[in-house]
Amino acid sequence: MAEAHHSTRRFERILFLSSGAPEAEDARARLVGRYGDVHSEDADVVVALGGDGLMLQTLHRFMGRGVPIYGLNRGSVGFLMNEFRETGLRKRLAQAQSTIIHPLKMSARTMNGETREARAINEVSLLRQSAQAAKLRIFVDGQSRLSELTADGVLLATPAGSTAYNLSAGGPILPIEAPLMALTPMSAFRPRHWRGALLSNRAEVVIEVLEPEKRPVSAVADHTEFRDIVRVAAAMDESTGLELLHDPGHSMEERILREQFRH
């Protein structure tokens, strides 16, 4: 579950990160010239210059470090980003609204018995690796809830990730502070009319792969992929908090609310 509040701290030591795109690199050079730059170990705040892809990479890079992230949009998609302006940055940082989000922790077991772990800010996905549809069995808190799902895959999304892949797959948008996760199928063939489920953020979801040799499946936590999976367990990691900063009136809560009324 996310928590939102107003930031009252002063951010003097700023680390600027760029996506590497020319527009982002140019912006970083101008901002470093105006505000200076520090090493990651010394930063009070990280300013990420790019799009949502860079924001996800930055959140993963600083996971567990307790450093807030403030994004400035210099990319094509900027749902998580603030509007780019070169001036007044320190004042914007001081007035920014803070949202704490928590990632999912995924543990995946492969066909050869190895266990792989990763964290996801947006979603954990199971996806078919071949032309054959995946066959999956879904457990919630140790109880079988769906004995067989035949589909392209299934994903478990956080509120922060509910407007990303989850929304494209037909899943619900979750308010950022809702104590929920969205479990959403992708191109479900059987049961054809199953549209997914809303789960408590305290639930543990276990997904078993049926016929893994005939119907191989990969598991993906944001950008980290493991192939030939037989079982995945995923749950919200409440012990790890990630802090995002947004300008007043453009908080994560407000952005997700606006997204639900887009037409």
Confidence band (pLDDT; 50, 70, 90) for 193?
A: confident
Whether residues 140 and 55 share a domain: the answer is: no
Give the CATH number, domain containing residue 217. Answer: 2.60.200.30
pLDDT of 85 > 70? The answer is: yes
Per the model's pLDDT, the better-predicted residue between 80 and 180 turns out to be 180
Whether residues 110 and 96 share a domain: the answer is: no
Per the model's pLDDT, the better-predicted residue between 252 and 51 turns out to be 51
Whether residues 157 and 137 share a domain: the answer is: yes
Whether residues 7 and 68 share a domain: the answer is: yes
Report whether 242 contacts 59 (CB < 8 A).
yes
Whether residues 200 and 118 share a domain: the answer is: yes
Whether residues 110 and 229 share a domain: the answer is: yes
Residue 35's domain spans which residues? 3-102+241-259
Strands (E), 56-133: 69-73, 97-101, 104-110, 115-120, 123-128
pTM (2 decimals)? 0.89
The answer to whether 164 is annotated as binding is yes
H helix runs in the chain, sequence order: 22-35, 52-61, 89-95, 165-168, 252-259
The answer to whether 167 is annotated as binding is yes
Whether residues 138 and 176 share a domain: the answer is: yes
Whether residues 197 and 81 share a domain: the answer is: no
Q: Write down the catalytic residue from 26, 37, 44, 52.
A: 52
**Those residues with Cβ within 8 angstroms of residue 99's Cβ, 6 or more apart along the chain or in another chain:** 2, 3, 4, 176, 243, 244, 245, 246, 251, 252, 253
| The pLDDT value given to residue 78 | 74
pLDDT of 1 > 80? The answer is: no
- Per the annotation, the verdict on 228 as an active-site residue is no
Confidence band (pLDDT; 50, 70, 90) for 263?
A: low
pLDDT tens column, 127-136: 999 999 999 9
Please state the domain count of the chain.
2
The answer to whether 168 is annotated as binding is yes
The answer to whether 166 is annotated as binding is yes
Whether residues 113 and 92 share a domain: the answer is: no
Q: Specify which residues 84 forms β-bridges with.
A: none
pLDDT of 181 > 70? The answer is: yes
The answer to whether 82 is annotated as binding is no
pLDDT tens column, 92-140: 999 999 999 999 999 999 999 999 999 999 999 999 999 999 999 999 9
